[in-house]
Amino acid sequence: MLPFAHLRILELAAVLAGPQVGQFFAELGAEVLKIEPPAGDVTRTWKTPAEAADTDVSAYFAASNWGKKSVVLDLTTPAGRARLHRLAASADIVLASYKPGDAEKLEADYATLSKENPRLIYGQITGYGPETARAGYDAVLQAEAGFMHLNAAAPGQPPQKMPVALMDLLAAHQLKEGILTALYHREKTGHGTLVQVSLLESALASLANQASSYLVTGHDPQPLGSGHPSIVPYGTVYTAADGQRLVLAVGSDGQFRELCFALARSAWALEDRFRTNPARVAHRAELEAMLTERIAQVSGAKLLAELVRRAVPAGAVRTVGEALRQPNAQAQLLPSAPGFPPAGLRTVAFHAAAWERVSELTPPPALGQLPATDVA
């Protein structure tokens, strides 16, 4: 049996962060009721030009809504709120992503819903915390939390937003951790709790070595393109003679020596300016220029094979489609389902000996697929 087969979750959250948490629990066996307003989750309409216009399941919506049942409730009406309260009275977890103050107006807040259900765990996502009545949007948080500044080709170059809503995904992981902790707490005490996560705090907590560098040195980290501030060569994209783009992640002096052997430039590893990582960082521009010139002279396919043989971390730059077509990516794909031919993407990326991974999951639901009157 899957670990959360006994749980019922009400998903009042929309867009990405909350729905990612909902699919996570659905993949692990929980019943997830996606409570949508009459217009539906706004991401149902977020379609690329390549998508069909006659469906309310967009690719964006499909990214986070496998394994759920859609129930439409108009929480601006007394009947909709009453129905929500009946469902919450027997639910285990509620996921919400309202702007601060809106849940209270709709009587969908933790204080209201937990009155009849003290075991309820309520996961609340906000942009900037429950005291700031400002909606949170991923692109804005990427800018405000320092990520866009760091994600530029070089100092003085335009900041760039990352191509996935990373702040949402980081907040989703924080909320999963908080809810799992709350479930453990409930097992010990019998009581539920309110778990609050903000996109801002999740983003700041994920600055990792970049934040630590500032806090330790007082110097603001500067953008390096895809390079690394304290390791060289690491992350820079090179283009080989056959057009293959590749990156290196050389984390030790031994790996650098093996790289030099693979490039038939063993003397580089003996030079004082490159022999140690601190020296390579100090002489970053010189080494990068030499690597760029040498790699452009060799076959990328042969070089990557040789680096694998020598245990030097390196990889080809792949498109999304190429990445998903790799043999070792197949386990992360959900098989297509009747009436929904595209495959889906799992949110659960771990394996456990105690249970089998779910082999199939119902596809993302049409809006109001399950009438509210059919939900016990």
pLDDT digits (tens, 9 = 90+) for 310-355: 999 999 999 999 999 999 999 999 988 877 778 899 999 999 999 9
| Nearest Cα residue to 28 out of 5, 44, 50, 9 | 5
* DSSP codes joined into one string, 214-265: HHHH-PPP--BTB--SS-SSEEEEEE-TTS-EEEEE--SHHHHHHHHHHTT-
| Nearest Cα residue to 65 out of 35, 85, 102, 92 | 35
Cross-strand partners of 33: 10, 69
pTM, rounded to two decimals? 0.93
What digits encode the pLDDT tens for the residues 1-59? 899 999 999 999 999 999 999 999 999 999 999 999 999 999 999 999 999 888 899 99
Can you tell me whether residue 286 is helix, strand or coil?
helix
Omega before 371 within 30 of 0, i.e. cis: no
Query: Which of the 8 DSSP states describes residue 214?
Result: H
pLDDT for position 358? 87
Query: Which of the 8 DSSP states describes residue 21?
Result: H
Question: Taken in order 343, 345, 348, 352, is the CA torsion positive or negative?
Answer: positive
Tokens of 273: 């300016």
What digits encode the pLDDT tens for the residues 226-263? 999 999 999 999 999 999 999 999 999 999 999 999 99
Helix (H) or strand (E) segment spanning residue 8: strand 8-11
Tokens of 289: 């220029």
Torsion of CA 98, 104, 105, 107, to 10 degrees: 100
Average pLDDT over every residue of 184-211: 97
Please tell me the distance from the alpha carbon of residue 276 to that of residue 289, in angstroms, as a whole number. Answer: 18
Please tell me the distance from the alpha carbon of residue 261 to that of residue 46, in angstroms, as a whole number. Answer: 50
The widest CA-to-CA distance across the chain, in whole angstroms, is 78
Q: Quick check: is 92 catalytic?
A: no
Q: Are 369 and 70 in contact (CB under 8 A)?
A: yes
What digits encode the pLDDT tens for the residues 102-161? 999 999 999 999 999 999 999 999 999 999 999 999 999 999 999 999 999 989 999 999
For residue 376, pLDDT over 80 is answered with: no
* DSSP codes joined into one string, 46-105: ---TTS-SS-S--HHHHTS-TTEEEEE--TTSHHHHHHHHHHHTT-SEEEE-PPTTHHHH
pLDDT for position 53? 87
* Amino acid code (one letter) for 26: A
- Out of 41, 102, 168, 272, pick the active-site residue: 168
DSSP E strands, 113-168 = 121-126
Tokens of 66: 């496998």
Bridge pairing between strands 68-72 and 93-96: unpaired
Q: What does the chain come to in residues?
A: 376
The count of C-alpha atoms lying within 13 angstroms of the C-alpha of 193, restricted to the half-sphere facing its C-beta, is 16
pLDDT for position 336? 84
pLDDT for position 343? 87
pLDDT for position 242? 97
| Nearest Cα residue to 297 out of 247, 239, 355, 248 | 239
